[in-house]
Amino acid sequence: MMPAPEHFGRCAGELGIEGRDHLVVYDASELGQFSAPRVWWMFRAFGHPGPVSVLDGGLVGWRREGRPLTPELQCYPRTDYCPHPKPWVKTYQQVLDNIQSKEFQLVDARAEGRFRGTQPEPREGFSTLTCPFFLPHHCI
């Protein structure tokens, strides 16, 4: 799910992020890159004009390589971050309309069992949806 552009802009602004900033996002998990790629994609989907990078190896790799860290929390002044959303996220109705119009290619990146309907949808209130093209999330 994506936040509303206004909410995203307010949160980015509270972190002191500006459009010209080069953002480097990372995970701190031993499981590898999990949330950082989503943050990277969200900033791109909201039209962040500066570069956005994912730290290869995450914080775990950074520590393993003996790179410098600081215990100090960096605080930046609030900014007026202005998102410029790309038309990449589709509504349910747009997906239904696309069955006939074939205006865009829909790619499903869920786990294979969820795609095929052999595993339950983990989010309450959501039903299983299949689409013609499946690319497992671990292959992306």
Q: What pLDDT, on the 0 to 100 scale, is given for residue 130?
A: 58
List the alpha helices (DSSP H) in 5-91: 5-14, 36-45, 58-64
Q: Which residue has the higher pLDDT, 6 or 119?
A: 6
pLDDT tens-place string over residues 25-48: 999 887 766 789 999 999 999 999
Domain encompassing residue 18: 5-65
Q: What is the pTM of this model?
A: 0.75
Instruction: For tokens 């999330």, name the residue.
Output: 137
Domains contained in the chain, number: 2
Q: Domain end: 49, 65, 81, which one?
A: 65
pLDDT tens-place string over residues 63-100: 999 999 999 988 999 999 999 999 988 988 998 999 99
Query: Could you please report the per-residue DSSP string of 76-106?
Result: -----------TTS--HHHHHHHHHH--S--
The β-bridge partners of 107 are 133
Instruction: Decide if 45 is inside a domain.
Output: yes
DSSP E strand stretches across the chain: 23-25, 52-54, 107-108, 133-134
Q: Kindly state whether residues 45 and 97 are assigned to the same domain.
A: no
Q: What pLDDT, on the 0 to 100 scale, is given for residue 3?
A: 93
User: Residue 14: which CATH number?
Assistant: 3.40.250.10
Q: Kindly state whether residues 101 and 51 are assigned to the same domain.
A: no
What is the CA angle 48-45-91, rounded to 5?
150
